[in-house]
A and B are shown apart, each in its own frame.
Chain A
C-alpha cells in the first residue's frame, strides 16, 4: 500500500512523504533543491560562484510587515547575542536544517549578502550563528533572507528570556578532564610499586611518587567528585539515603585511608583506584547525559507565541511586544497569525482555528462583540481585537500554570536504585563495623585500616555504572528507532505503566491526511473543477482540504464570489451558480446523528448534488497496536473533537466508558489526575498544545510528531509519527532495560563480595583494589551494553516474525 519514499536526487537522503519537487525531480529539502538548481543552471563549473549570478532563487520576499518587529530596538537587543562596534552576532534555531546541503547553503550566506560576514551551523542543535554588520544589513533583512530560502528561523517569546543553557554540559567535561588527567598520571606513578617486585622502589623515590599522587588526587576530590559528595550530604541532612551516599562513603574512605598512609609513610595508598573510580563515574554520567540537543522537551506556551504583534494606535499600525499588551489595547491579527491574548472581536469576520488549543478540527466563527481566546489562529481576512487580559492572565497561560502547579513531581525514578542503595549502605557499614570489632580483638592496630578497607571495597563502582550505561544505551537504541526520550528516568517510568490514554486528532489520526469521499449524484469532471475553483477562494480548513483533494483539475475564474462565515461560499463560474458549505446553507436535509460529521455539501444552479465526507485517516497499524495494548493495559481515548467519530472508534475501543469526547484541555488534565488518584500509572500520548496539561500530569507523556523538530508541547518523549506501530515494543523494551539493570546489580554485588572476603581477611592491598575495581566496572559496562543491544535485536526480530 505505502510506496517507498523517494530518495533525494542531490544528497540521496530519504525525502519523506512529501518531497519537494522541481522539474519532476524529488528533493529532501529546499537546501538540496537550491544547490541542485545552481549546479544545473550553471553547468557545474560555477558552483562556487554564487554571488556572480542570479543563481539562488531567492523567492521574491513577500513578508510585508511579518518580521517588522525585528526592527524594534528592545526586541533586537534581547535577541542579539552580542554587539561589538560594527559587528553583531545572533543565533537562530532553524528546524529545517537536516542535511549537508543545508549546512553548505547556510554557511555561504555571506555570498548572498555582503553584510553578513560569517555564518556557522551547529547541525546537532540545528542552529546557525550569524555575524553581520548592522549598517549593511538589518536583523529583519537577515531573517527575511533566511525565510526566502526556506530556512525560516523559529523566533518565539521563548527566545526573549533564555540565554545560558549549555554551560552545564561543559562543566561536566571539565570535571571529566581533570579526573582523567589525574587518573592517568596517578596510575603511571603507581606502577613502579606494583611492578618492582621483591626489592621494591627506592624509598625516597616512592615517597616522591606518593606525594605527587596526593597532589594529583586533591583536585579530583575537591572539583570532580564535588557533585556526589554534596548530593549525598544534602540528602543525608534531609534524612534521605540515595545512591550518592555509598559512593561518597567509598570516595572518602579511599581518599582518607590513602592520605593517612602517604603522610604517615606507612604505605602507598589507593589513589589510583580513587581517581579511576571518579573518572569512571563521570564517564557514566556523561554517557547518560548525552541526549538530543536539538529537541526541546520543555516548551511551554512561550514557544508557541510570537514576540510581537501589530497594535493600532491612533489609526496607525505599530509593532509592539506581546508582553507589553495591556487591557484595552487594539490589535490587528492577520491571516494565519496566532491570537496571543484573550480579546474581544471589534472588526472583521473571525474564523478561528482552535485545533492547536482544543484539538477540535472545525474552525469556529465569532461575531463582532464576542470574546476570542488566546491560542487560536485566524483564517481569512485580518481582524481587529480589543485586548481583555494581558498575556500572563490569558486562559491558555492559566491552563499551563495550573498543570505546572498541581503536578506530581516525576522524581519517582531511581526508586529501585535508591531502595537498593539504602540497604547496601546499611549492610556495608554494619559489616565494616563488625569486621573492625572482630579485628580489634585479633590485631588491634590494624582494625581501623581494615574498617576502611571494607568501605573501600564495598564502594559500589560497578553498581553506580550499571544504571547510566544501561539507560544511556537504551536511550540511544530508542533514538535509532524513532523514539526520543527526555532523559533516562523516563525509561523506568515507562516500564511501570498500566494505563494508556490516547488523544484522538493528530495522535491516532494522521494530522494531514483525510479520507475524502463523495456521496450523492456523482458530479461530472467539469462540475468537480467548478467545486475546486470555489473551494480555492476560501481559507476554511474544509475548503482547503477539498481543494487539495481536487488540485489536479482545471481552475476557472470565479465571478461574484461570496463567503458567508460559518455557512459556506458561493460564486458563479461560466454562468453557473456553485454553492458549497454546510447542509443548512445548501438546503440539504440531514439526520441529526450526522450533524457532527465533517461534510461539505454541494449544489450547482441551486440543485443539490450531494456531499463530500471528510474523515480522519487513522494511522497505519492502529488496529494491531490497540489490540496488542488492550491485552495488558487499560486503553482510553480522550478527544477535544466532537462525537462524529464515536461509532468508528467503538470498533477499536469497544467500551464506551473509555471513550470521551468534547474534552477541553483542562478536562484532559483532570481525567489523568482522576486515573492517578485510582493508583494508576498513566501513559498519555498526545500531539498538541491542548494535551499539554495532560502530558505534563501523566506519569509518562509522549508527543507524537510528524516533524520531531517542530512544535511539540512539554513532554517526556517525542515519537516520530511513522513509528506509532512500535509503541508496544517501546514499552516492552523499557521493561527489558530494567531487567538488565537488575542483573547487572547482581553481578556487581558478586564482585563486591569477592572484594569483601579480601578486605575482611585483611588482604586488600592497593594492587588488589587496582585490579578488582576496573575489572568489575568493565564487566558491568560490557554486560549492560551487550544485553540492551541484544534485547533490542530480539524485540526487532519478534516484529518481523
Chain B
C-alpha cells in the first residue's frame, strides 16, 4: 500500500510538469494566434527547383554523401 504514496506523489509532479509546459506555451506566444499556423502548415516547403544554381546542387550532394 505504501507504494501508493510514492506513486501519487510522483504522478502529481508529472502533472506539475505539464502545467509548467502549458505556462511556457502561453508565454512563448503559442496561444496568441490561433489561425495563422493552420494556414502556414499548408504552404509548401521551399523546395530546391531543378534549374537551380550549381552551388545549391553541390551542397545538397555533399549532404547526401
Interface residues of A (CB under 8 A from B): 45-49, 52, 100, 103-104, 107, 120-125, 166, 170, 173-174, 177-178, 181, 184-185, 189, 202, 205, 208-209, 212
Question: When A and B form their complex, what is the total count of cross-chain residue pairs whose Cβ atoms lie within 8 Å?
Answer: 64
B10 in the interface (beta carbon within 8 A)? no
Summarize A's interface: helix, strand, loop or mixed. helix
What residue in chain A is nearest B46 (Cβ atoms)? A48
Check B19 against A166 for contact (C-beta < 8 Å). Answer: no
Check B40 against A125 for contact (C-beta < 8 Å). Answer: no
Check B33 against A202 for contact (C-beta < 8 Å). Answer: no
Check A178 against B19 for contact (C-beta < 8 Å). Answer: yes
What residue in chain A is nearest B9 (Cβ atoms)? A212
A-B contact pairs, 11 of them (CB 8 A): A49-B52, A122-B33, A123-B33, A125-B33, A177-B22, A181-B16, A184-B15, A202-B1, A205-B1, A205-B5, A209-B8
Check B36 against A124 for contact (C-beta < 8 Å). Answer: yes
Given contacts A185-B12, A202-B1, A208-B8, contact A124 B35 (CB under 8 A): yes
Given contacts A46-B49, A185-B12, A205-B4, contact A177 B23 (CB under 8 A): yes
Given contacts A104-B43, A170-B26, A177-B19, contact A208 B12 (CB under 8 A): no
Check A174 against B33 for contact (C-beta < 8 Å). Answer: no
**Minimum C-beta distance from B56 to chain A (A):** 11
Instruction: Give the distance in Å from the alpha carbon of A181 to the alpha carbon of B12 in the complex.
Output: 10
Contacts of A100 in B (CB 8 A): 39, 42
Instruction: Give the distance in Å from the alpha carbon of A189 to the alpha carbon of B7 in the complex.
Output: 13
B19, B22, B32: which contacts A122 (Cβ < 8 A)?
A: B32
Check A48 against B39 for contact (C-beta < 8 Å). Answer: no
Contacts of B1 in A (CB 8 A): 202, 205
Contacts of B39 in A (CB 8 A): 100, 103, 123
B44 in the interface (beta carbon within 8 A)? yes
The 4 closest A-B pairs by CB, nearest first: A123-B36, A181-B19, A122-B33, A123-B35
Check B47 against A48 for contact (C-beta < 8 Å). Answer: yes
Instruction: Give the distance in Å from the alpha carbon of A46 to the alpha carbon of B46 in the complex.
Output: 11
Contacts of B12 in A (CB 8 A): 185, 212
Check B26 against A121 for contact (C-beta < 8 Å). Answer: no
Contacts of A45 in B (CB 8 A): 49
What residue in chain B is nearest A172 (Cβ atoms)? B26
Instruction: Give the distance in Å from the alpha carbon of A184 to the alpha carbon of B12 in the complex.
Output: 11
Instruction: Give the distance in Å from the alpha carbon of A441 to the alpha carbon of B47 in the complex.
Output: 84
Given contacts A48-B49, A202-B1, contact A173 B36 (CB under 8 A): no
What residue in chain A is nearest B43 (Cβ atoms)? A104
What residue in chain A is nearest B42 (Cβ atoms)? A100
Contacts of A48 in B (CB 8 A): 44, 46-47, 49
B34 in the interface (beta carbon within 8 A)? yes
Instruction: Give the distance in Å from the alpha carbon of A377 to the alpha carbon of B16 in the complex.
Output: 59
**Minimum C-beta distance from A530 to chain B (A):** 50
What residue in chain B is nearest A171 (Cβ atoms)? B26
Instruction: Add 6 more A-B contacts to A181-B22, A202-B1 (CB < 8 A).
Output: A48-B47, A100-B42, A107-B43, A124-B33, A124-B36, A181-B16
